[in-house]
Chains A and B, each alone.
Chain A
Amino acid sequence: MMTDRHVLNEETVGSKVEIVIVEDNPNDAELILRVFRKHNMANQVILLRDGAEALDFFFPPDGPAPGATLKIILLDLKLPKVDGIEILRRIKANERTRSIPVVVLTSSTEERDLNDAYKLGVNSYVAKPIKFDEFAKAVADLGLYWLVLNKLPAR
C-alpha cells in the first residue's frame, strides 16, 4: 500500500516505512511507485515531494526520527525549497540517519552533482534513463538490489 504524506501526522506510520522516495516530478514519482507495486516492493513506501517535506520526515521537530525499518532512500537532486544535496548532507552528517542507504536518482548529468554526492557519502548515484522502459528497469533493479540483496544492521 502506498502511503501519502498526510499519514505522517499519525505517529506510528513513520516507524514502519521501508522506502522513501523524494521526488518532485509527479510523472517520475508515479513511474517509480508503479514499478515497486509491480514487483511487490511497494509495502511501506512514502513519497515526499520537496526538500522541506524530506527534512520534516527525517528530522521531525518533535518525536523520534525514523530509521528503524528504512531500507533505502531514493533522492532526487533538483527539488523545490531545499535541494537534494543539502538533504544528503544532513542525512549523512547525523549519527541516527547516516547508515540508511541513500541512492541519488536524478536526471542531472553534471559532474559537479555526481562528485558532490560522493564527497558527502552517497551510497550510490544513478542517472535516470531518458527512455521510459529503461527507467522502469533501472528502478526495478534498484529496488531489488537495496531491498533484497543489501544487508543492514539490526537497529
Chain B
Amino acid sequence: MSDEKVDIVIVEDDPSDAELIARVFRKHNMVNKIVLLKDGAEALDFFFGSNANDQPKVVLLDLKLPKVNGIEVLQRLKSDERTKNVPVVVLTSSAENQDIKDAYKYGVNSYVTKPIRFEEFANAVSELRMYWLLLNKPFEGQTPVPTARRS
C-alpha cells in the first residue's frame, strides 16, 4: 500500500473531460492524489483488485464507459462492504431519466450532468470539488480487509 492517500478517483474515458476535471481539482493544492481510470474494468480492478487501495473521499463516475459501464461499476461499489460507504457522484453527459433512476436505485450519492459549455462545466466541477472535499465529511470506519490482503 502506498502511504500517499488517494483523495479522489475519476472514472472518465474522454481525455479532455478527464483533463479538465483533474485540473480543477488540483487547484489550490487541496488534493494529495488523484487517480484517473479510463474504463470500467480499470475501475473494478482499482477497487477490487489484488492491491485494493485506500478509500478516496469521492469517486466521480462517468456512465458511458468502455468495457464495463458506469451503472455496473456503481452497482458493484455500492453492494460491496469494502466500498459501499465511499461517496460516488455520477458525472455524465446523460440526462436520460432511466440513467438517473438507475443511479439512485443503486445508491448513488449524487448525480450531476456535464454542462456542454466549457466554462459552465469548469464551474460545476469547481462546486463538486468544494462540496465533496471541503463540506462533506467522509466515512471514517474500518472497512473489512479483503481476503487477498492477508499476509
Contacts and interface: CB of A to CB of B under 8 A. Distances in A.
B140 A111 contact: yes
A153 B104 contact: yes
B97 A150 contact: no
Interface stretch (B41-49, B59-67, B130-138): B130-138
A55 interface: no
Contact of A118 (B85, B105, B135): B85
A124 B136 contact: yes
A149 B100 CA distance: 14
A141 to B, nearest CB: 6
B113 to A, nearest CB: 6
Most A CB contacts (10 A, CB to CB) among B85, B130, B135 go to B135
Interface string B33-71: 000000000000000000000000000000000000000
B139 interface: yes
Nearest to A104: B137
Given A101-B110, A124-B136, A126-B136, A152 B104 contact: yes
Interface of B: 84-85, 87, 95, 97, 100-101, 104-105, 107, 109-113, 124, 127-128, 130-131, 135-137, 139-141
A99 B112 contact: no
A66 interface: no
A141 B139 CA distance: 20
Contacts of A153: 97, 100-101, 104
16 contacts: A111-B140, A114-B140, A115-B85, A118-B85, A119-B85, A123-B110, A124-B109, A145-B127, A145-B131, A149-B112, A149-B124, A149-B128, A150-B112, A152-B104, A153-B100, A154-B97
Interface residues of A, number: 25
Given A115-B85, A124-B87, A138-B135, 7 more contacts: A99-B104, A149-B112, A149-B124, A151-B95, A152-B111, A153-B97, A153-B100
A114 B142 CA distance: 12
A142 interface: yes
Contacts of A52: none
Contacts of B127: 144-145, 149
Given A151-B95, A152-B104, A153-B97, A127 B112 contact: no
Given A121-B107, A124-B109, A151 B135 contact: no
A150 B110 CA distance: 6
Nearest to A122: B109
B85 A124 contact: no
A139 to B, nearest CB: 10
